Amino acid sequence: MVRSVISMKALWHSEVHNEQKWAANMKLVRALGVFAGGIFFMRNYDCLPLLLLSLLIAECASRPLYTLPSLAKAGTKKPLQTSRPFNVAHRGANGEFPEETAPAYMRAIEEGADFIESDILSTKDGVLICHHDVNLDDTTDVADHKEFADRKRTYEVQGMNMTGFFTVDFTVEELTTLGAKQRYPFRDQQYNGKFPIITLDEYIAIALDAPRVVGIYPEIKNPVFINQQVKWADGKKFEDKIVATLKKYGYKGSYMSKDWLKQPIFIQSFAATSLVYISNMTDSPKVFLIDDVTILTEDTNKTYNEITSDKYLDYIKPYVVGIGPWKDTIVPVSNNRLTTPTDLVARAHSRNLQVHPYTYRNENQFLHSGFHQDAYLEYDYWINKIGVDGLFTDFTGSLHNFQELTSPLPKLQ
Q: Is 17 in the site for other proteins (CB under 8 A)?
A: no
Return the number of the residue (155 or 366) whose C-beta is nearest other proteins.
366
Q: Answer whether 21's CB lies under 8 Å from 10's CB.
A: no
Task: Give the start-end residues of each E strand in 238-389.
Answer: 267-269, 286-290, 322-325, 333-334, 337-338, 354-355
Does residue 395 interact with other proteins by CB under 8 A?
yes
Identify which of residues 87 and 123 has a Cβ nearer to other proteins in the complex: 87
* Contact of 268 with 218, CB cutoff 8 Å: yes
What residues are paired with 323 via a beta bridge? 288, 355
Contacting residues for 329 by C-beta, under 8 A, at least 6 apart: 290, 292, 293, 304, 342, 344
Q: Considering the complex, what minimum distance in angstroms separates the CB of residue 398 from other proteins?
A: 5
Q: Closest Cα partner for 310 from 267, 268, 343, 270?
A: 343
Name the DSSP letter for residue 126.
Answer: S
Q: How far apart are CB 367 and other proteins at their closest, in Å? A: 9
Rg (CA), the chain: 27
Query: By rule CB under 8 A, what string of x and - marks binding of each residue 37-66 to other proteins?
Result: ------------------------------
Which of 20, 70, 190, 280 is the binder for other proteins (CB under 8 A)?
190
Closest distance between other proteins and the C-beta of residue 372, in Å? 5
Least spacing, CB of residue 116 vs other proteins, in Å: 17
Any residues with CB less than 8 A from the CB of 183 and at least 6 apart, and which? 94, 98, 99, 138, 139
CB of 382 to other proteins, least distance (A): 16
Closer to other proteins by CB, 184 or 312: give it. 184
State which residue, 43 or 186, has the beta carbon closest to other proteins. Answer: 186
* Cβ proximity to other proteins, 64 vs 370, nearer residue: 370
Question: Cβ of residue 284: shortest distance to other proteins, in angstroms?
Answer: 31
CB 98, min distance to other proteins, A: 14
| Binding flag, residue 257, other proteins (CB under 8 A) | no
- Whether 79 and 161 have beta carbons less than 8 Å apart is answered as no
Nearer to other proteins, 89 or 289 (CB): 89
**Nearest Cα to 354, choosing from 268, 246, 257?**
268
* CA 257 distance to own-chain centroid: 20
Q: Where are the alpha helices (DSSP H) in 209-301?
A: 223-229, 238-248, 258-262, 272-278
Range 352-381, binding other proteins (CB under 8 A): 362-365, 369, 372-377
C-beta separation of 242 from 219 below 8 A: no
Question: Measured from the CB of residue 195, what is the shortest distance to other proteins in angstroms?
Answer: 17
Residue 21, H or E segment: helix 19-45
Nearer to other proteins, 240 or 380 (CB): 380
Q: Does 385 bind other proteins (CB under 8 A)?
A: no
Q: CA-CA distance, 104 to 322, in Å (whole number)? A: 26
Site string for other proteins, 138-177 (x = CB under 8 A): ----------------------------------------
Type of residue at 377: L
Among 70, 185, 186, 311, binds other proteins (CB under 8 A): 186
Least distance (Å) between residue 380 CB and other proteins: 9
Distance between CA atoms of residues 57 and 136, nearest Å: 51
Binding mask 300-339 for other proteins (x = CB under 8 A): -----------------------------------x----
> Could you tell me the smallest distance in angstroms from the CB atom of residue 131 to other proteins?
23
Closest approach of Cβ 336 to other proteins, in Å?
8
316 in Cβ contact with 289 (< 8 Å): no
Is the Cβ of residue 269 or residue 403 nearer to other proteins in the bound state? 403
Nearer Cβ to other proteins, position 202 or 363?
A: 363
- Is there a cis peptide before residue 359, judged by omega within 30 degrees of 0? yes
Q: How many residues bind other proteins (CB under 8 A)?
A: 26
Cβ-proximal residues to 196 (8 Å cutoff; 6+ apart), any chain? 101, 175, 176, 177, 178, 179, 180
255 scored as a contact of other proteins (CB under 8 A): no
Residues that bind other proteins (CB under 8 A): 93, 95-96, 186-188, 190, 335, 362-365, 369, 372-377, 395, 397-398, 401, 405-406, 411
